[in-house]
């Protein structure tokens, strides 16, 4: 991954790449922090569930937004997170 990314951002990119087009940004954040809300119940079976459980959902959403602004991530026609033009290729 690019050296300008934090470990948290690198984790977000890996998980977003594995789940390209599957989740909107809010659901991706819930997946990463391991949200136990009833709205996130369908996320618990994902192997990436809670991989950033030591962080808050607002913090992770903020990091996702930064990655969107920097074109590491993008949104598809359904507003689901996908790799962007600057997504690391290796």
The domain that holds 24 is classified in CATH as 1.10.10.10
Task: Identify the pLDDT of residue 4.
Answer: 87
Chain segment 24-79, per-residue pLDDT in tens: 999 999 999 998 876 666 788 889 999 999 999 999 999 999 999 999 999 999 99
pLDDT in tens, 16-38: 999 999 999 999 999 999 988 76
What is the domain count for the chain?
1
Residue 3: the pLDDT is: 59
| Residue 43, pLDDT score | 82
Question: Over the range 1-35, which residues count as b (16 or more CB within 10 Å of their CB) and which as e?
Answer: eeeebeeebebbbebbeebeeebebbbbbbbbbbb
Q: Tell me whether residue 2 is in a domain.
A: no
Query: What does each C-alpha distance from 80 to 1, 2, 6, 7 come to in angstroms?
Result: 22, 23, 23, 22
């Amino acid at each position: 991954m690019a050296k300008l990314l934090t470990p948290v951002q690198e984790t977000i990119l890996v998980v977003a790449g594995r789940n390209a087009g599957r989740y909107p940004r809010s659901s991706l954040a819930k997946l990463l922090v391991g949200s136990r809300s009833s709205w996130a119940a369908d996320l618990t079976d994902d192997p990436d569930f809670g991989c950033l459980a030591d962080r808050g959902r607002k913090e992770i959403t903020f990091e996702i937004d930064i990655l969107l602004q920097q074109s590491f991530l993008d949104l598809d026609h359904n507003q689901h997170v996908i790799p962007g033009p600057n997504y690391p290729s290796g």
